[in-house]
Amino acid sequence: DQQVKQNSPSLSVQEGRISILNCDYTNSMFDYFLWYKKYPAEGPTFLISISSIKDKNEDGRFTVFLNKSAKHLSLHIVPSQPGDSAVYFCAATPTSYGKLTFGQGTILTVHP
């Protein structure tokens, strides 16, 4: 039972354009949603999060949108840079602390 799903295994965009990574979830108990970035040979690093009381959270070039009724969230990166090339994981948790349930990840490649 995959409670968090990232249906796109990979995404390729041009430098300067927008990258949109998508994530769907099935567990209505999830209250916090996070995005992590992972480079090869490194551990995942936290990027941005959003709680269920919000529908948008912005941090510089990164914006996360949450649509609770659709159980869908997305990460927008504008403008995309080659250094953004990494695996992006969506994660969710029912509380603000505790274990995270991760999606399968999306490989983002930003071409110069």
Site string for other proteins, 49-78 (x = CB under 8 A): x-x---------------------------
101 binding other proteins? (CB under 8 A): yes
Site string for other proteins, 17-36 (x = CB under 8 A): ---------------x-x-x
Figure out which of the listed residues 14, 28, 46, 67 binds other proteins, where binding follows CB under 8 A: 46
Q: Specify the stretch interacting with other proteins by CB under 8 A; choose among 11-19, 20-28, 40-48, 71-79.
A: 40-48
Name which of 45 and 81 has its Cβ closer to other proteins.
45
The string of DSSP codes covering the chain is: --SEE---SEEEEETTS-EEEEEEE--TT--EEEEEEE-TTS--EEEEEEETT-SEEEETTEEEEEETTTTEEEEEESS--GGG-EEEEEEEESSSSS--EE---EEEEEE-
Tell how far CA 84 is from the center of its chain. Answer: 13
User: Do residues 52 and 72 make contact, with C-beta atoms less than 8 angstroms apart?
Assistant: no
State the residues that interact with other proteins by CB under 8 A: 4, 6, 32, 34, 36, 41-46, 49, 51, 89, 91, 93, 95-105
